[in-house]
Structures are given as C-alpha cells and as structure tokens.
Structure 1
Amino acid sequence: MARGRNKDVEPASSPAPRRRRSRWHWLWKLPLLLALLSIAQVLVLRFVDPPFSSFMAIRQFEALRGGDTGFRIAYDWRDLDRIAPSLPLAAVAAEDQNFASHRGFDLAAIEHALESNADGGRIRGGSTISQQLAKNLFLWGGRSWVRKGAEAWYTLWIELLWPKQRILEVYVNVAEFGDGIYGAQAAARSYWGKDADALSNSQSARLAAVLPSPRRYSAHRPGPWVQRRTQWIERNMRNLGGEAWLERLE
C-alpha cells in the first residue's frame, strides 16, 4: 500500500485582486481617453458647423426646469461670408483687440484685468475670444478652477487646430446676444427683422456691446451704458482698420 505524501496545497487565488487591478488599470487611462475625446471634438468642429453649444443646452434645460415648456432657443447658423463683416470686427474691437496676434491667451490683458480688480474698480475679465468660445461651446459658466482649467485646455487646441477666421465664424454664431438668442442671424432677425449679412456698423457694434452680459443689456433698446460702449466699439473698429482688417486675418 503506497504511503500517501502530504502536500501543501495552495489555495486558489481570489479573483478580487485581479478585479481591483483591472479597475486601477482603466483608471489611469481615463484622463487620457477624456483628453483624446476633447481633442477629437475640437478637430471635428474645425470642419463641421456645431448644431448647438453647451451654453444653449444649459439654457434650454434651465427653462424646462423652471417650468417654461414653451421656451425655445433661437439659433440659425450662417457662414462667415453670409454675416456682415462689421459684426466679427465689432466683436474683436469690443472683446479682444489682440486677437490676430495672440495664441489664445492675452497675458497683457489678463495682467491689466488683475490690476483693475485688485484696485477695487469695475470687475474686468481678461478672456480672449478663443477662451470665450471654448467656454460657450464646450463648458459651463462659473469661476471654478476646474472650469478655468478645462477652458484653457480647449482654448489651446482650438488655437492649434483652427484658423483665426474659423474661430471668429463659430464665435459670432454661438455667442449669446440676448436671453436665448444665439448667433448673428438669430439676433438680426429677432431685433431688426433682417438677415445677418444686412447688419449695419452701428447694429453690429450694439450687438458686441452687450456681450459681457447679454441678459442684462439690450442691443435693441440700448440704455446709456450700451450707447457709450457702442460708440467706443465703433472707434476701435476704425482704429483696427475697418473691414480691411478681416481680409488680412488668416
């Protein structure tokens, strides 16, 4: 009769550690996946006109949450050559006069804004048109560091992948010019019953004048502040060189 030999039998390995390792394996890849998806978003919209923006979706949701089921976003895309040149020029004159030369971030404007805010004056922003486009198109409002970081990331890729004219084209189509009124065509039709290519210099400047707070100020019935800002924008438009400035933009 063969003598049995005792062997230490190793217990079967538990699947739990493998599951934990699998979760950690995907966790470090998640930021990379999100980064690649965001870059793909920017690249696609270099060629495809956005059907809506993040801000439009948020505003529509706010209306529904508030019980305003009849609220509808006014948005009608127009290519840049079907928008009066005075509007993108007015946007630059009002919001970002160094638009042609910076690569998404205007450090001098940011420094000036910080100094003004520290002195207790009227709160100023140092955001460029590219930064505002990144926020309006992909993100949400607010002043959190998370949102500002995401804004900087999208701005970087917008500037790397889009020409300046495309940035302006998308911006004047998704910018809010009144509560629920987005883009040049919707604003022109809502306020003056005309198409965006028929906007006058003064009307374009008034639209640009309300961009800091389009739900507070009216381009259609401008108050004293909007009127003063409109005159200032028109002077800046002339100082930039008028519509010839757009023709030199890449």
Structure 2
Amino acid sequence: MKSFGRWILWLLLAGVALQLFFLARIALMVAVDPTSTAFMRSEAWRIAGTSLQSDKEWRWSHRWVPDEQISPLLKRAVIASEDAGFFEHRGVDWGAIEGAWQKNERRQQQAEKRATRQPSQPAREPKVVGGSTITQQLAKNLLLSGERQLLRKGQELVLTIMLELVLDKRRILEIYLNSVEWGEGVFGAEAASQRYFNKPASKLNAHEAARLAVMLPSPKFFETRQGSAYLARRTGTIVARMGGVVLP
C-alpha cells in the first residue's frame, strides 16, 4: 500500500509540474510571440511525410505579423463567425456548449430516423458542431495534441483558464489569428491573406475578411471549394453581423 501511495503522489506531482510548465509557457507569451503551435508542428511532420512519399511539392506558409498589421475587419469577422461573446465570457461559453450539444442530439436523432426509414441506404454520420470559444481553440492548438479524449478536454479547459488569467483579450486574439490554420500548410492571417487575395492582412476589405472567417471551421475543405455557394452565402451573413462587433 505504501508503494501504491508513493506512485499516486508521484503522479500528482508530475501533474502539478506539467501545469506549471504550461503556465510558464503562457506567461512567456505576454512578451514573446510563439513561433509555432503544437498543431502546426504536427501538420508540418504530416505534410513533410506526405511530400516524401508522393513526391508532392512541399508547401508551407506562415509569417507572424503584429496586431496592428491585421485588419480590424478580419478581427470583427472572426469574432462574428467563431465566437460572438468573445469579449464577454471568461474563456468558456457554457450557453454555446449547451446549444451545440442540443443541436448534435437533434442531428443524431434525425440520422437514426433516416436509417430506420431507408435501411438499404449507407449510413451517413451526422455532422458534429462544437461550442468552443476562440480561447479554447487557441488552447487546443497551442499546446495540445489533436486527440479527442476526456483527459485532453479537461487539460484544454485548464489551459483556457490560464490563457484568460494571464493574457488579455487583445493578445489572445493576436496569437489566435497568427497561428490558426487556413488551408493545407497555410497558417495565420498574413499567410491566408496572401494565399487567397494576394495582399497583406492589413489591407483586407469586409468581404475578404468575412470569407476567411467562414473558412475557419473547415479550412482544408473550403480551400479547394472557393466557388462554394455555401461559402458565398455564409460570407454575406458574416458581413452583415460584423457591424455589431465592437473591438476594445
């Protein structure tokens, strides 16, 4: 029993040490711009491996730009599209999570009804929507793996709280916009703006900013479907919502 107790103690100490490590990394970001994220590094390895196996041309684009070099229109568009309550919540929007849970439940029930009515048709998995805030997305991409596990979700919540306690909203949004994925090997607002519109992120107009914001949930999908009717329709919706977003 004493040996078991020591193992538990060591596990607890290791857990505390890991949290302190994460906290130190986040505190450093108050003044130092992160050069990459855990997700970016995993994508770099994946793309490099694919390129070596298929002789496919390596493509990677990422360049950090300071907050003032990112168009306020893009900031408004991303908030309107991804996290309307960004400036009000403290990292987690419980209302959005509950709404996403209910929507996923309805979609699952609809999928089960379709399967019952049409048993000969191949089953189609319902699309799952999330209620993650911008801070939660940043916490996941910045320091965690992409695995969907309960323990990882718990760690994501802890990191979200740390980010909100240590960094202000402006800095959180700056890091997010400089590191989020916008296509295969395309990371950050500057790389995305150059990739899709051949201009710096500071020069984006409202329609271009909204179009980039709409791509965020599925950037690789929309990268190859720039003529999508949904993309055009949703872009118009976000342009209309942007006026209601007030930046501090």
TM bin, normalised by shorter chain, reads: 0.7 to 0.9
Considering only aligned residues, what root-mean-square deviation do their CA atoms show, in Å? 2.3
Residue of structure 2 in register with 1:82 after alignment: 69
Higher RCO (CA 8 Å, separation ≥ 6 residues): 2
Residue of structure 2 in register with 1:16 after alignment: none
Larger Rg: 1
Among residues 6, 13, 21, which one is paired with 1:37 in the alignment? 21
8 Å CA contact 2:193, 2:204 repeated in 1: yes
Correspondences of 1:91-240 after superposition (within 5 Å): 91-120=78-107, 122-218=127-223, 221-240=226-245
Matches of 1:148 and 1:200, distance apart in 2: 36
Task: Specify which structure has the higher proportion of helix.
Answer: 2
Using the size of structure 1 for normalisation, the TM-score is 0.84
* Paired amino acid for 1:74: S
**SS of residue paired to 1:42:** helix
**SS of residue paired to 2:182:** strand
8 Å CA contact 1:54, 1:137 repeated in 2: yes
Q: Structure 1: which 5+ residue stretches go unaligned?
A: 1-18
Residue of structure 2 in register with 1:71 after alignment: 58
**SS of residue paired to 2:23:** helix
How many residues are aligned here?
A: 226
Identity among equivalent pairs (%): 37
Matches of 1:123 and 1:21, distance apart in 2: 41
Q: Structure 2: which 5+ residue stretches go unaligned?
A: 111-126
Q: Judge which range, 225-234 or 70-79, deviates more.
A: 70-79
Q: Does 1:46 align with 2:30?
A: yes
Instruction: Could you list the structure 1 runs, at least 4 aligned residues long, displaced by more than 4 angstroms after superposition.
Output: 19-27
Using the size of structure 2 for normalisation, the TM-score is 0.84
Matches of 1:223 and 1:217, distance apart in 2: 8
